[in-house]
């Protein structure tokens, strides 16, 4: 990515640069801060998947614990310059993978499959998609991809990630609007109204914890009896085991490694979107850390290691991982960019990942509480897509027509395809590929915008090429 895209910036001076070694106690506390920063968003992804799959509280607790463990492993890989970028970036759950995997779950349910079959399909998609990301990274192909993906294509893709999930958010929130809207109100209050950096930084986590305590109180006094969506399952916490041991292919090796064409093709758009955003994160963290701009080697190794992290996640039963912009914000605010700190955060994630009971506590967060967080977060993701799109010339009728078509087809076609899947006699594999792509909004919208943007004439300025990127938050 050229200097012009991000603008010339002066190198920052930070108290704890990338290769510094702060005292272990200080590093542990600073690492814990990174864990708390990613905790809210990273936790919401497995909860959403668990609810979509119909997991029990015990199953969901195991799933959540596994995700923490995998994110710790992925972060350690990424920070190691021998196989990763060597930059102080934390890896966490990615929202980009939600739309295509929800489509996969829906298809499996229609065919009578349960939680094991859905976890197998997700694991396989992450493994084979991770191989794609690993190859694109370590081979240096990421530069070729970037050349054809401008804000006109990336903006609608990110918008569709957030806005296509509106139904999921409202469905969960509708189980108890009072609790859900309380979460939303608190998030707005903590992030926009109160002038406190700590509350601003932990707005989502603080809001969820407060309303969870309200639901717990309501459960204890009998307002939310068993069977209510707002009920906190205290018994499940008591029954949960303390320790969960890492297990490869928990849901079956042969079944997980079976290639699912629909799942793989659907998830490729998610991987591509995640890669493009991660490149921007590498530039951002270098500036925040007072380091030189990332070299091609750093970018390639960073993307390759993110693919490796996703492969490991698929093997262990986790979710897709990606670099977290929220944590880059922590570095920018504190000036603590030491890789030792990030490694300590990774170790904390690993320790949490061994505690099944902790994961079960998180799994008991009631549906409407999660729904409120989804309303805020998914809307923000859509808004961030608009922010990226704003780098292009929005007064251009060319761009308006491309984006309008991509957005409309991305919202409408997947629902039609899921109700009317393509059937191609003697070529079921081709039908699976097309259904996987056409059944995923971000894939349909992103591909439509990218194709039109590259075949319809337009100036670099019009397309947003070499425009200075706005400071943004990733769709993590």
Number of structural domains in the chain: 1
Residue 471 resides in a domain: no
Residue 120 resides in a domain: yes
Tokens for 367, please give them: 């549906």
Residue 203 resides in a domain: yes
Each residue's pLDDT tens digit, 248-258: 899 999 999 99
Each residue's pLDDT tens digit, 167-197: 888 988 999 999 999 999 998 898 888 877 6
Range of the domain at 262: 3-463
Residue 474 resides in a domain: no
Report the pLDDT value the prediction gives residue 361, as an integer from 0 to 100.
85
Distance between CA atoms of residues 335 and 142, nearest Å: 29
Residue 214 resides in a domain: yes
Residue 162 resides in a domain: yes
Residues in the chain with pLDDT < 50? 1-9, 470-473
Residue 470 resides in a domain: no
pTM (predicted TM-score): 0.79
Report the pLDDT value the prediction gives residue 53, as an integer from 0 to 100.
95
Report the pLDDT value the prediction gives residue 467, as an integer from 0 to 100.
60
Distance between CA atoms of residues 179 and 358, nearest Å: 23
Residue 475 resides in a domain: no
Q: If DSSP codes are grouped into helix, strand and coil, which group holds residue 251?
A: coil
Helices (H), 248-394: 253-257, 261-289, 296-316, 325-334, 339-353, 356-363, 367-389
Inter-residue long-range contacts of 278-282, CB under 8 Å, 24+ positions, other chains counted: 278/302, 278/303, 278/306, 278/322, 278/323, 278/474, 279/1, 279/142, 279/146, 279/303, 280/1, 280/469, 280/472, 280/474, 281/89, 281/323, 281/324, 281/325, 281/328, 281/474, 282/85, 282/87, 282/89, 282/323
Report the pLDDT value the prediction gives residue 314, as an integer from 0 to 100.
95
């Amino acid at each position: 990515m050229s200097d012009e895209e991000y603008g010339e910036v002066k190198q920052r001076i930070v108290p704890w640069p990338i290769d510094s070694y702060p005292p272990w106690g200080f590093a542990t506390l600073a690492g814990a801060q990174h864990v708390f920063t990613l905790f809210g968003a990273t936790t919401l992804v497995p909860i959403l998947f668990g609810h979509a799959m119909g997991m029990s509280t015990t199953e969901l607790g195991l799933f959540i614990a596994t995700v923490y463990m995998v994110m710790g492993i992925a972060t350690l890989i990424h920070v190691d310059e021998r196989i990763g970028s060597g930059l102080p970036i934390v890896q966490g759950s990615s929202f980009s993978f939600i739309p295509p995997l929800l489509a996969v779950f829906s298809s499996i349910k229609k065919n009578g499959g349960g939680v094991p079959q859905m976890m197998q399909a997700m694991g396989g998609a992450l493994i084979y998609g991770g191989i794609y990301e690993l190859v694109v990274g370590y081979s240096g192909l990421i530069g070729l991809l970037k050349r054809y993906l401008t804000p006109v294509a990336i903006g609608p893709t990110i918008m569709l990630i957030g806005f296509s999930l509106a139904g999921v958010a409202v469905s969960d929130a509708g189980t108890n609007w009072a609790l859900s809207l309380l979460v939303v109100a608190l998030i707005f209050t903590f992030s926009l109204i109160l002038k406190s950096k700590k509350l601003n930084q932990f707005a989502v986590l603080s809001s969820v914890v407060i309303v969870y305590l309200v639901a717990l109180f309501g459960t204890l006094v009998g307002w939310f009896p068993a069977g209510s969506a707002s009920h906190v399952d205290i018994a499940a916490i008591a029954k949960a085991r303390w320790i969960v041991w890492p297990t490869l292919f928990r849901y079956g090796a042969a079944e997980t490694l079976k290639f699912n064409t629909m799942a793989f093709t659907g998830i490729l758009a998610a991987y591509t979107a995640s890669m493009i955003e991660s490149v921007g994160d590498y530039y951002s963290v270098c500036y925040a850390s007072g380091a030189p701009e990332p070299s091609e080697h750093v970018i390639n190794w960073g993307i390759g290691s993110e693919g490796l992290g996703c492969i490991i996640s698929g093997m262990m039963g986790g979710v897709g991982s990606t670099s977290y912009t929220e944590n880059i914000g922590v570095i920018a605010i504190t000036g603590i960019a030491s890789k030792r700190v990030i490694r300590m955060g990774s170790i904390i994630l690993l320790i949490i990942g061994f505690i099944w009971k902790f994961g079960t506590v998180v799994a008991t967060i009631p549906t409407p509480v999660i729904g409120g967080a989804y309303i805020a977060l998914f809307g923000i993701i859509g808004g961030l897509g608009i922010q990226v799109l704003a780098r292009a010339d929005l007064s251009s009728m060319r761009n308006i027509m491309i984006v309008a078509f991509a957005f409309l087809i991305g919202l409408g076609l997947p629902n039609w395809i899921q109700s009317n899947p393509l059937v191609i006699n003697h070529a079921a594999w081709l039908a699976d590929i097309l259904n996987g792509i056409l059944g995923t909004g971000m894939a349909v919208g992103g591909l439509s915008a990218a194709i039109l943007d590259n075949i319809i004439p337009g100036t670099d300025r019009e397309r947003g090429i070499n425009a200075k990127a706005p400071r943004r938050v990733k769709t993590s």
